[in-house]
Structure 1
Amino acid sequence: MKLTRRDFATFIAGTGAAAALGQLARTASAAPNGSYRAMVGVFLFGGNDGWNMVVPTDSRYSGYAASRGTVALAQNRLTALDGSAFALHPAMAALNPVWAEGAMNIVLNAGTLYAPLTKDLYRSRSDLRPTNLQSHSDEQAHWQGLRARSDNFDGFMGRIADRATQTATPSLISLGGSNLAVIGQRSSPLILPSTGTLSRSGYTAGSTPKNAAITAFASAAGMGTIADVTGQQITAAYTQAANANTILTASSSVDAFFVNPTTGTTLTSDVARQLLRVARLIEARGSLGHDRQTFFVTQGGYDNHSAQVNSDTSTGTHANLLGDLAMALAAFYKATKSMGMAENVTAFTMSDFGRTYRGNAQMGTDHAWGSNHLVVGGNLRPKMAHGVYPSSVLGGADDVSSEGRFVPGIAQEEYLGAIAKWHGVADGDLSYVLPNWWTWTTGGRGPLGLFA
């Protein structure tokens, strides 16, 4: 990829670009409570409507309301964020105290980019566009693998684990299945369920010939090198499962924080169950021998082409999803505080892509590009909104369509790279973890200034 000086000058001249560059500061920080770090990626599958998750409340609100049409939220129903020109969806009130405490940031209009783009460059330089935009599978791979124009066969969290100290129980743990993000080139994640425990498939308690055969192969005594290596792997997997099951089934004080802040009832959403288990694993970091932990958490259901909102637009499918997400993140933050580890843990959202700014006739939204994201943690710069909110004019300077498909102002590398650096990824490993890293560390670009 070659981006000429003329191309870059054109980018700088684009609407909002110069302002964006001024806000993309390099990150240099250290969590004050020892060397331990945990990063917790929460992937919102289906393409979250970040434009209704984070809404402008200043003079830009009128443009928001006019362009969003059928899905616009009433301003008087929004969850105000004090000291900010933005608000959260009404269903996300549980996160308001986290913002007030200075433990949440907003990232505006982030998404898949191969190189800096404006609308004009998007149209004239097809070689600079990410491939297959608006495709669920491709954009999920872009976010998790961070290769915008080539195949993704491993993920950024897996590559972090590749360069980390290997421990008996992997420090890379997925509560959301075997997704690309956690696949490394030489490391393997520990994949845990959101409920229940791990067990041997086909194995039940008691002495049977089948169980004896499974146990014999696991030990692999006298069966040759291949069987011996395989047996060691099976035995290690059994040991990991036993260690994890002990943590998952033991009583823990963090459980008390995973309740609805209004009713006090236990949170039962899948994303809350996953984050509860993440909190338990952070609590057990010492017994697991982890000085770094990386977690992958998921929430599905965000592909809302219809019925995203009800006639009262503050309610509906999207509101229910965001309400569950907000309560889970707020509970998780409280749990890390109770352990004295809030400054050592950072949770952040990702999603396939954003949604069209203009709502459709079915009270839903369609596939788009850039979107807004949330970051939660005790080591963040307080109450920050990073980046530039795009022009809400449909077909305007930031919209590559006529429906509000905005060119991202912040690349995934600038967003996720800031968290990777905070997590402790060495400078020499950043181009391995984020293959397009050098594109985003020149010309005034760099990781977002998320951290204190």
Structure 2
Amino acid sequence: MNRRDFIKLGSAAIATSGLMNVSQSAHALSIPTGDYKALVCIFLLGGNDGFNMVVPTSDFDYNEYAASRQNMAIAKADLLPVSPLSHGGSSFGFHPQLSELQGLFNNGKVAVMSNVGNLVEPITRQQFLDHSKPLPDQLFSHNDQQDQWRYVDPQVQKSGLGGRVMDLAVANNQDPLLTGIAIDGRTNWLSSQLNLDLSIGRNGFDQYGYVAPDKSWTQNRRAAFKELLSNNYNDPFTDEFKGLQSRTMDLVERVGAQIDTVPEFTTIKPEGSLATKLEMVAKLIAIRAELGMERQVFYVGMGGFDTHDAHINTQQQLFTELSQSMNYFYDVTTELGVQNNVTSFTSSEFGRTLTSNGDGTDHAWGNHQLVMGGAVRGGDIYGQVPSLEIDGPDDANNDGRIIPTTSVEQFMVSPLRWFGLTDSELNSVMPNLSSFDANAVDFML
């Protein structure tokens, strides 16, 4: 741990202790008693190729797609057909490895958000070429665009979008360490200036194993560690860090014990790390009442989407895991009876170029995303489906880098309203929302 991380951890400890009750200054969500809701962000790291995930299949549109995608195109006969409710008979197909998601779409449990991406304000192709509108910094950079998506406004915000939503939920006197949870590593999406977010391993807690209470060989070590934590220290910072260790150790053992009581789900879990991570999210949701939770935000990452080469084969493997894992998670939430209380959505820093680099694709911009849950108006594609013509009206620079027609802020309005945020709170957590039509899309019941 470097000095900067140590100071940040100490500051977060103070914010979550009784010494500085800053979280209570945040406006509390208006939550009816017993009304539980969770948002689950599934971040596809590396830049998912959304335009091979959902493909137009009418003759004209598919021919345009095939001409642009070249050897990256999916054969029309292989696509899994879907009929969006609001597209006037236009036909589309899911990638052949997304059969589970096709089923959820056809059953009204999954929706597609078309051509969403990072924007500062709406922009046309001509405005992009003229440099007459501001653009996100370092537009095609992984790290910068991941930060843009997670912070929404990284030049101004010092906390993540999920973290700011978490702060509103914590103001309802929820335990801050259990309100915003990432699986397998912390994320800027959940970073907060008021409260400390939590990371849990995909298989549970692994911290404090060296002083576990249920192993004979750890007892002397545990006693020595407990004695250190019981001492008073002259330095208030050290004393507060001691307090953070005590609270974290208590939380790990208390919540870990609760997780262990969750019965095995009857839904069969597919192979892959994403399903295991989502299983841990489901276990935490299963013990929501024991933990006193009414609102939670979760973050799960899935890597491998930076397909500069071996694009077709890699995408088949990634989409197989994504489809099976998301379907598994929906079935588990149904098993728990909370399918209407949990909304999951995919995110990715950017899409891929329509053009091929020979064996793969390169960094691009606009992208399709998925939204899943019992409270989703599924079976439809929302937003503006772009032209996939190279050098066409939606192509930024002749490489098939599609300009987004829906901003990340607009994409998030609908699930955040469902979560309980008012219009005022939406503008607070997404300051750039005023640059866009906040009512452009509504995919939640």
Q: Same fold (TM over 0.5)?
A: yes
User: 2:118 is matched with which residue?
Assistant: 112
Instruction: State the number of aligned residues.
Output: 404
- 1:318 correspondence with 2:315: yes
- 1:188 correspondence with 2:199: no
Task: Compute the displacement of 1:293 (Å).
Answer: 1.0
Structure 1 length-normalised TM:
0.84
Q: Provide the secondary structure at the position in 2 that maps to 1:48.
A: coil
Q: Which runs of structure 2 are paired with 1:283-432 in the superposition (5 Å)?
A: 283-309=286-312, 316-362=313-359, 364-432=360-428
Contact 1:357 1:365 in 2 (8 A): yes
Tell me, in whole angstroms, the C-alpha distance in 1 between the residues paired with 2:249 and 2:145: 35
Task: Compute the displacement of 1:213 (Å).
Answer: 4.1
Task: Compute the displacement of 1:245 (Å).
Answer: 1.6
Tell me, in whole angstroms, the C-alpha distance in 2 between the residues paired with 1:117 and 1:403: 18
Q: Provide the secondary structure at the position in 2 that maps to 1:164.
A: helix
- 1:240 correspondence with 2:251: yes
User: 1:160 is matched with which residue?
Assistant: 165
Task: Compute the displacement of 1:191 (Å).
Answer: 0.5
Tell me, in whole angstroms, the C-alpha distance in 2 between the residues paired with 1:340 and 1:207: 39
Which residue identity lines up with residue 197 of structure 1 in the other structure?
F
Tell me, in whole angstroms, the C-alpha distance in 2 between the residues paired with 1:258 and 1:187: 36
- After superposition, give the CA deviation of every residue in 1:268-305 in whole Å (9 maximum; x if it has no partner): 31110011111111111100100011100110000010
User: 1:51 is matched with which residue?
Assistant: 51
| Deviation larger for 209-218 or 299-308 | 209-218
Which residue identity lines up with residue 180 of structure 2 in the other structure?
L
RMSD: 2.3
User: 1:20 is matched with which residue?
Assistant: none
Q: Provide the secondary structure at the position in 2 that maps to 1:128.
A: coil
2:92 to 62, 76, 86: 86
User: 1:69 is matched with which residue?
Assistant: 70
Task: Compute the displacement of 1:32 (Å).
Answer: 11
Contact 1:31 1:343 in 2 (8 A): no
| Deviation larger for 396-405 or 150-159 | 150-159
Q: Provide the secondary structure at the position in 2 that maps to 1:98.
A: helix
Contact 2:160 2:189 in 1 (8 A): yes
Tell me, in whole angstroms, the C-alpha distance in 2 between the residues paired with 1:409 and 1:95: 24
Task: Compute the displacement of 1:223 (Å).
Answer: 5.1
Tell me, in whole angstroms, the C-alpha distance in 2 between the residues paired with 1:239 and 1:340: 29
Q: Which runs of 5+ in 1 are unaligned?
A: 1-29, 260-266, 310-315
- 1:97 correspondence with 2:98: no
Q: Which runs of structure 2 are paired with 1:244-283 in the superposition (5 Å)?
A: 244-253=255-264, 255-259=265-269, 267-283=270-286
Q: Which runs of 5+ in 2 are unaligned?
A: 1-29, 86-90
Which residue identity lines up with residue 350 of structure 2 in the other structure?
F
1:176–1:414 distance in 2 versus 1, CA, 3 Å: farther
Structure 2 length-normalised TM:
0.85
Tell me, in whole angstroms, the C-alpha distance in 2 between the residues paired with 1:378 and 1:434: 25
Task: Compute the displacement of 1:151 (Å).
Answer: 5.8
- After superposition, give the CA deviation of every residue in 1:296-324 in whole Å (9 maximum; x if it has no partner): 01100000101111xxxxxx111111110
Which residue identity lines up with residue 163 of structure 1 in the other structure?
L
Q: Provide the secondary structure at the position in 2 that maps to 1:121.
A: helix
User: 1:5 is matched with which residue?
Assistant: none
1:116–1:195 distance in 2 versus 1, CA, 3 Å: same
Task: Compute the displacement of 1:387 (Å).
Answer: 1.1
Task: Compute the displacement of 1:137 (Å).
Answer: 0.2
- 1:147 correspondence with 2:153: yes
1:189–1:163 distance in 2 versus 1, CA, 3 Å: same
Task: Compute the displacement of 1:436 (Å).
Answer: 1.1
Task: Compute the displacement of 1:426 (Å).
Answer: 3.1
Percent identity of equivalent pairs: 31
Task: Compute the displacement of 1:83 (Å).
Answer: 4.8
Tell me, in whole angstroms, the C-alpha distance in 2 between the residues paired with 1:284 and 1:37: 13
